[in-house]
Amino acid sequence: MRNTGDGSFILKWSDYELSLGERTHIMGVLNVTPDSFSDGGQFLAREEAIRQGLSMAREGADIIDVGGESTRPYAEKISTQEEIDRVIPVIEALHRDLTIPISIDTFKAHVAREALGAGASMLNDITALRFDPDMMSTAAEAGVPVILMHMKGTPADMQKNPNYTNLIPEIIEFLEDAKDRAVRGGIKERMIVLDPGIGFGKNFDHNLEIIRDLAQFRKLGQPILLGSSRKAFLGHILDREPRERDTGTMATIAAGVMNGASIVRVHNVKMALDTVRVIDAIRRGRTGDANNHLV
């Protein structure tokens, strides 16, 4: 990754290059789980998951983020082998047909290694490499981009009355420490993306404050990922079920992009592409064209 000095970044590795300063990039969410909060069970069947991944690529996703274990509040843990069995066949199939990077959403080093061997080329760890002692070396040896997220607590307890003395500075301090720890662990700084963790140990007001003040995270000097898609705080505002929250999601994406988000993680790629094109045009005065990511 090269910081161009104006908040723009070029993330380059292996066969991939993402020019994050030219336009906002879209990460499509692919949950191969029975219990994720938004689409649990919808893509648990292997063929359905593969079909959805290919569809998101056609619709303009720049990255497909595959996860096999739900990290919603109070989610039940699953074994490493079960997680592997869910995600590896999907990653292998997508890798054969896609030219865009595939991210593995996991905090388990063994799952990460298997996924990287199957064709994944990014790591998205909600624990910022803290929960599995082997995750740091796995990421460093792979030399791939790593997304480090802020989470207060664990999925089992993170929503039990989360509180902060000073929200934004505390999250910034956490992410700065996570970045420094990753660099000390052998991960190149140019490979680090930071995520303030909407909905992970945050209450309703915390989530709104993060989106409103997202520009403050730019002082960290890394690309910022915003993952607000269909989250519970939108349900509280709109009184809608998760799959009915896409319009609300796009409002948060618009605010996030205006405040400097480099990547947005979404369930509805088609709607997100339209949103970021318009906001990019307003903010940057130009637009990026969607690509056909099928070989």
pLDDT of residue 295: 46
pLDDT band at 4 (very low <50, low <70, confident <90, very high): very low
Question: Residue type at 189?
Answer: E
Domain of 187, in residue numbers: 8-279
Contact present, 106 and 83 (Cβ < 8 Å) = yes
Q: Per the structure block, which two tokens stand in for 227?
A: 């993952």
The per-residue DSSP string of 158-191 comes to: TTSS---SSHHHHHHHHHHHHHHHHHHTT--GGG
pLDDT-wise least confident of 30-34, 95-99, 152-156: 152-156
- For residue 266, report the phi and psi dihedrals to the nearest 5 degrees: -140, 160
pLDDT tens-digit readout, 156-208: 777 788 899 999 999 999 999 999 999 999 999 999 999 999 999 999 999 99
Query: Does 293 map to a domain?
Result: no
pLDDT tens-digit readout, 265-280: 999 999 999 999 999 9
Could you identify the residue written with the tokens 């689409």?
39
Is it the case that residue 291 has pLDDT exceeding 60?
no
Contact present, 193 and 222 (Cβ < 8 Å) = yes
Q: Which residues contact 137 (CB under 8 A, 6 or more apart)?
A: 109, 185, 186
Higher model confidence: residue 229 or residue 155? 229
Q: Provide the CATH number for the domain around residue 117.
A: 3.20.20.20
Query: Does 231 map to a domain?
Result: yes
Query: What is the rounded CA–CA span in Å between residue 263 and residue 257?
Result: 8
Query: Does 1 map to a domain?
Result: no
Q: Left if phi > 0, otherwise alpha if psi is -120 to 50, otherwise beta: which for 130?
A: alpha
Query: What is the rounded CA–CA span in Å between residue 205 and residue 207?
Result: 5
Higher model confidence: residue 272 or residue 74? 272
For the CA atoms of the chain, what is the radius of gyration? 17
Residue whose C-alpha is closest to residue 155's, from 202, 208, 214, 204: 202
Query: Does 285 map to a domain?
Result: no
Query: Does 294 map to a domain?
Result: no
pLDDT band at 289 (very low <50, low <70, confident <90, very high): low
Residues of the chain with pLDDT > 90, as a percent, come to: 80
* Catalytic positions, written as ranges: 231, 265
Question: What mean pLDDT value characterizes the chain?
Answer: 91
Query: Does 289 map to a domain?
Result: no
Could you identify the residue written with the tokens 């161009």?
4
Q: How far is CA 57 from CA 14, 100, 159, 168, 270, in A?
A: 19, 8, 33, 33, 10
Query: What is the rounded CA–CA span in Å between residue 189 and residue 231?
Result: 29
Query: Does 273 map to a domain?
Result: yes
Tally of domains within the chain:
1
Contact present, 246 and 265 (Cβ < 8 Å) = no
Is it the case that residue 73 has pLDDT exceeding 80?
no
Query: Does 61 map to a domain?
Result: yes
Contact present, 206 and 164 (Cβ < 8 Å) = yes
